[in-house]
Amino acid sequence: MYEVFADLHIHIGRTKNNKPIKITAARSLNFENIAKECVERKGINIAGIIDCASPYVIEDIEEFLRNGEARELANRRNNI
């Protein structure tokens, strides 16, 4: 068994291109800022993004993957 730090309820306020996602969330809460804050400052291994079904957020995530700033994890179902 291993230890994992997670936040499973994160809301996104805006996209990288400043398109609104959740009006009541802070404008600085875009996917890139959240991901970097989770990894660099908080040491979070898993982040649950509530608004990730938004097409604009999906675009931000795909760009993050294309640029190599993030990577998809291998299927670990059988390894847990």
Q: pTM score > 0.75 for this model?
A: no
**E strand intervals along 21-77:** 46-49
Q: Is residue 32 part of a domain?
A: yes
Containing structural domain, residue 21: 6-79
Residue 58 in any domain: the answer is: yes
For residue 74, what pLDDT is reported?
76
Residue 21 lies in a domain: yes
Exposure pattern of 14-46 as b/e (b: 16+ CB <10 Å)?
A: bbeeeeebeeebeeebbbbbbbebbeeeeebee
Number of domains in the chain: 1
Q: Is residue 63 part of a domain?
A: yes
Q: Which residue has 């908080």 as its token pair?
A: 42
Rg (CA), the chain: 13
Give 10-residue mean pLDDT values along the chain (80 residues). 85 89 80 88 86 88 90 66
Question: Does residue 1 belong to any structural domain of this protein?
Answer: no
